[in-house]
Amino acid sequence: MEFINRTAELALLTERLEQFKQGKWLNTSHLAFLGLRRTGKTYLIKEFASLILKKHKEIIPIFIDISKLTDNIRFFCDTILSEFAKSYEKSYTEPDLDIFFHTFIDGKLYASYKHYQKQTESAKIFDTVLKLLTLISEQQKLVVIFDEFQDILEFTKIKGLKNLDAIFRSELQNQFNIFYVITGSYPTILRDLIQNPQRKLYSHFEIYDIKNFDKDASLQLMNLFKKELPHEQKIALYKSCNGNPYLISLILQKVDLNLLGDL
């Protein structure tokens, strides 16, 4: 689908990316996009990752949807590494992961990661994968994109990871070649995690709110699906959905136009 709206947010991401490329980088320059579900956060950051792959070959994006990985921290950490390998080396296939990392980075640290990966106590695997990212970034600039970042708190249930934000921050301070972009669908939870002065990630992320589409953007979206829909119905649909792009798209794809009436 054509990318609609969010031009200001994409411009911000692009501007911050240029600063990152030029080495004008601080560990307080990472970005957090907060908004209710179905407001287009994931669509925005996927568009950003796609832009990096197309126009910035010297930077590798890693896109992780944390909400799909909270059942198993080992799988979460493996996914981070495999997504890097896929972006870095297009010919990479899953069974090659061990070979890939033994040749790309220091074998001892990767061996430690594999050791922790097999342990019943899995707390140290999170710290080790962050250290691996730091080591990788010494050779390769990274943009690490975590969708639904608040779900990382699920891992605090694991013994040894209660202070997960402290573990993250301790390595974040050494990662001058990594640009983090995170999203969150529970703004209150995520604001506490990154804006509360008592939390370890305080001051490292700038927050931007993602809201529903305005009228013009909503009409632009509708024209992609049902250009022939009468203008009055489009306005009524925009108002009834409060500009929510997901609801607008869903209705126009699933509902018979004849049933819309005056909404």
CATH of the domain at 80: 3.40.50.300
In a domain, 227, yes or no: yes
- Residue that is last in its domain, among 183, 209, 235: 209
> Are residues 79 and 60 part of one domain?
yes
In a domain, 110, yes or no: yes
Which pLDDT score is estimated for 255?
63
> Are residues 138 and 83 part of one domain?
yes
**Structural domain count of the chain:** 2
> Are residues 227 and 159 part of one domain?
no
> Are residues 180 and 75 part of one domain?
yes
In a domain, 174, yes or no: yes
> Are residues 200 and 237 part of one domain?
no
Please tell me the pTM assigned to this model. 0.87
Contact 58, 52 (CB under 8 A): no
> Are residues 219 and 198 part of one domain?
no
Which pLDDT score is estimated for 209?
94
> Are residues 82 and 134 part of one domain?
yes
Which pLDDT score is estimated for 258?
56
In a domain, 235, yes or no: yes
> Are residues 205 and 224 part of one domain?
no
Which pLDDT score is estimated for 1?
47
In a domain, 2, yes or no: no
In a domain, 225, yes or no: yes
Q: What is the sign, positive or negative, of the torsion defined by CA atoms of 47, 74, 124, 98? A: negative
Strand order in the sheet with 178-184: 59-65, 141-147, 178-184, 30-34, 205-209
In a domain, 3, yes or no: no
> Are residues 125 and 70 part of one domain?
yes
Q: List the chain residues with pLDDT less than 70.
A: 1-3, 90-95, 105-108, 119-121, 255-263
Tokens of 192: 């506490």
Contact 171, 127 (CB under 8 A): yes
Which pLDDT score is estimated for 110?
78
Give the angle subtended at the CA of 63 by the CAs of 62 and 66, to the nearest 5°. Answer: 125
> Are residues 219 and 204 part of one domain?
no
C-alpha distance from residue 140 to each of 82, 83, 132 (Å): 15, 14, 12
Helix, strand, or coil (residue 243): coil
Tokens of 254: 């699933």
In a domain, 1, yes or no: no
Identify the bridge partners of residue 208 per DSSP, sorted by sequence position: 33
- Tokens 């990985």 found at: 69
> Are residues 222 and 204 part of one domain?
no
- Its domain, for residue 164, covers 8-209
> Are residues 171 and 77 part of one domain?
yes
